[in-house]
Amino acid sequence: MMMMSSFNKMHILLCLLLATQLTTMAQGQTQIGFYNTTCPTFQTIVQATVQSAFRTNPAVAAGLLRMFFHDCFVLGCDASILLSGTSTERTAPPNLSLVGFEVIDAAKTQIETVCPGVVSCADILALAARDSVVLTGGTTWQVPTGRRDGLVSQASDTVNLPGFNEPISAQISKFADKNLNTQDLVALVGGHTIGTAACAVFSYRLYNFSGTNQPDPDINPTFLPQLRALCPNGGNASTRVALDTGSVNGFDTSYFVNVRNGRGVLESDAKLLSNPTTKAFVQKFSGAMGVPALRFDVEFARSMVKLGNTELKTGSQGEIRRVCSAINRSQ
């Protein structure tokens, strides 16, 4: 058998290295500072736009955070939720109450004047979600960028979103499908420390839970009258109630303290205590006595980066939209 020459060995090694590089490029990934040379001011523009909107309406922070979550859970973090039109994600029931679209549009308009065709709407949304957390008192973190905008948005795909009345097992499964573990689930659900929910979403827990004509037994009896006063039986279903009682616009650990004490508003929040693993993380994030603590703000930031890398479109995939509400070919 002929011995392989050093030249041939080197050639094969180089080919393998090139193949590995091409595979990595094809898969794509985000990176810190992706726009450092092509649009160095884009983060400043997004931050200023979110700050301006927040001063006018603090509720927009929770809206932008929820929008990012809903975007990433459907087809990945590709700004598909921003597309308008018949039967798009925006028209699906879980997304009808989302707010903050005009903030992303405003940031995009400004960015297009200085860096046309460079920055994706998906990256703008990722930055806006981070800035919303910071404005409400949460920690900051570096957001990897380089996402591309998707070309598809279908209301039917929102079945992938975790539901407000789903059992924990279903939620864990949906997070696992996005390569997010149980700690990520509890940390990200902790985003409910800011924001509200309409009475229509949870009032069934107050009066006729599971057809029993009784309240959900998971609700702390001292909390029940407070919720019933806010959402009287047969009252205005659109009335909105803080998900974190006493701290609606403050990004802190009080949400977990409330959940631990039976003061979770959504059924999915209360059910965090029904699973030993999710319950353990609620205790760790809330600083329960005798339990090793976990820094919620640090772990939330870590989980947000993981979520933000879900099913990425990078490189030549998708496009960079000129307007966030429509794909380029339709403009």
11 is catalytic: no
Exposed/middle/buried for residue 17 (C-beta within 10 Å: 0-12, 13-18, 19+): exposed
How far is C-alpha 50 from the geometric centre of its chain's CA atoms? 16
Going by C-beta distance under 8 Å and a sequence separation of 6 or more, which residues neighbour residue 1? none
Q: What is the DSSP string of 315-326?
A: TTSSB--SBTTB
Catalytic residue among 34, 35, 42, 70: 70
Q: Which helix or strand (DSSP H or E) is residue 281 part of?
A: helix 276-286
Determine the 3-state secondary structure of 252 from DSSP: coil
Rounded to an integer, what distance in angstroms lies between the CA atom of residue 289 and that of residue 270? Answer: 20
DSSP state string for 127-179: HHHHHHHHHTTPPP----B---B-S---GGGGGGSPPTT--HHHHHHHHHTTT
Active-site amino acid positions = 70
